[in-house]
Amino acid sequence: MVHFNIYQKNQPYLSLVEDIIEILQDSLSKRNQSVSITNVLNKNSVNIIIDEFTDKKINEEIMEFRKNHKDAVLVFLITEFPVSGFGVESLNMFGGLGDAAITAVSQVLIRLKRSELRRPTLMEYLLAFLYLPIAFVFVSQAITKNIFKSKPACIPRDVGYCYYMANRYIGLEYMSQTANMFIAIHDSILRNSERLLLKKKPTVMIYPEISNSHDLVDAISRKKLRIEISGTITKYRKGIIGQIDSIIRSSFPRSSFESCHVRSFADSLESSSTSASDSAFSLHPPQSRRWRYSSVTRIYRAIDRDQNIPILIKNFNQHPIEKLCLLYTGKSSLDYFAKLYSSPSAAGELLTPLIEHYSCIAKKVNDEAIKTLCDYGYNKLYPISR
């Protein structure tokens, strides 16, 4: 048996990867694998590192570990979506020309700033130069909008997000040379990462497994007839919330159907009773109209931790967990949600077989994935015993 070490020292915001760590730990523990969560790499373990390689010092520690322990096993778990558009590559770059321009300029600045990285190529310099006027316009607009907000940020969110994701993308590209294998929880991440996965290294998929579905229906009946949303409330998400609230006010005036509840991201990550979700439904719209992928971890958290029914406004048909969600299309959808809430038995008849079917799929995928990880780790760590 091999030991799995989930390495977390490289994570500047541990709360943001809490669900990923939980999914990993749960998948391994269910298959009787030894697993720990530490800030130290272990030459005798299969080390799983969740991608976040923006800290030069920590990157150098990982590189030094690899240099000193060439037979050690490092497995990278990629959490974000590599995207290519307008001649630029980055992570989660769904904002169109403006995002591409800001990203192209950011990548050159990042490479000049971070001494461990290669210098920008002539083509990257040329692309940044061509995009500089466009980036200037979009950044100026973002700064102007930010100034007139009630709580202006130091750096406009859109600009800061593009820079951060460019930084993460470059870090992942640079550090991928040290990895033996790659993991993801969304098929599209691995498909889009082919350029990063040097020498076509082995890849495996891990699916979230629902553990607390048995009392989901009972939990929903004790909650409010309300739809909550957590995470960053972007302009696009704010528009969806406004549309739903407008229908609720006009079509359910005497109903107990409450307006949408915006739940802070910090509360959604807490497990205490004071911060627990008390809404029967949760809404999971994309961050923007151009967003291309489903959010697997948000759906998992809604069902398994928050114990509510997830709602999508678009089914991407990219991951089997999407089939556990309801679909919002307008007033008729809200009527249906209210009927499900008032009839726990109907909700159970709908959800139970769907969750059971998904659980069978997830178990099969994870059985194969963990076996692959174990076999690879054992053969790498104990070559003499083969």
**Confidence at 150, pLDDT banded by 50, 70, 90:** low
Residue 17, C-beta contacts closer than 8 angstroms, at least 6 positions apart: 8, 11, 50, 52, 79
Range 131-137 average pLDDT: 96
pLDDT at position 8: 97
Q: What separation, in Å, do the N-terminal and C-terminal C-alpha atoms of the chain show?
A: 13
Max Cα-Cα span within the chain: 73
Residue-range domain boundaries for the chain: 216-358
Distance CA 302, CA 14 (A): 19
Range 328-352 average pLDDT: 93
Q: Residue 59 pLDDT > 80, yes or no?
A: yes
CATH number of the structural domain 216-358: 3.40.50
Q: Residue 253 pLDDT > 90, yes or no?
A: no
Residues of the chain above pLDDT 90, percent:
78
Distance CA 135, CA 123 (A): 17
pLDDT at position 277: 84
Report which of 336, 316, 320 is spatially closest to residue 328, judged by C-alpha positions. 336
Query: What is the reported pTM?
Result: 0.91
**Which residue intervals of 235-323 are DSSP H helices?**
235-251, 265-269, 296-304
pLDDT at position 273: 45
**Confidence at 323, pLDDT banded by 50, 70, 90:** very high
pLDDT at position 238: 93
Report the C-alpha dihedral over residues 61, 168, 54, 208, rounded to 10 degrees: -60
Q: Residue 216 pLDDT > 60, yes or no?
A: yes
Report the C-alpha dihedral over residues 128, 133, 135, 139, rounded to 10 degrees: 150
Tens of pLDDT along 183-209? Answer: 999 999 988 887 665 567 889 999 999
**Confidence at 276, pLDDT banded by 50, 70, 90:** low
How long, in residues, is the chain?
A: 386
**Confidence at 147, pLDDT banded by 50, 70, 90:** confident
pLDDT at position 214: 73
Range 140-162 average pLDDT: 81
- Cα–chain center distance at 158: 18
Tell me the C-alpha to C-alpha distance, in Å, between residue 260 and each of 137, 217, 376.
35, 21, 47
Report the C-alpha dihedral over residues 360, 361, 366, 368, rounded to 10 degrees: 100
pLDDT at position 272: 47
Phi, psi dihedral angles at 231 (to 5 degrees): 95, -165
Tens of pLDDT along 72-105? Answer: 999 999 999 999 999 999 999 998 999 999 999 9
Sign of the CA dihedral with 283 first, then 287, 293, and 298 last? negative
- Cα–chain center distance at 332: 30
Higher pLDDT, 230 or 68: 68
Higher pLDDT, 110 or 202: 110
Q: Give 3-state DSSP helix, strand, coil % of the chain, rounded to 5.
A: 50, 15, 35
pLDDT at position 158: 86
**Confidence at 256, pLDDT banded by 50, 70, 90:** confident
On average, the pLDDT of the chain sits at 91
pLDDT at position 153: 66
**Confidence at 274, pLDDT banded by 50, 70, 90:** very low
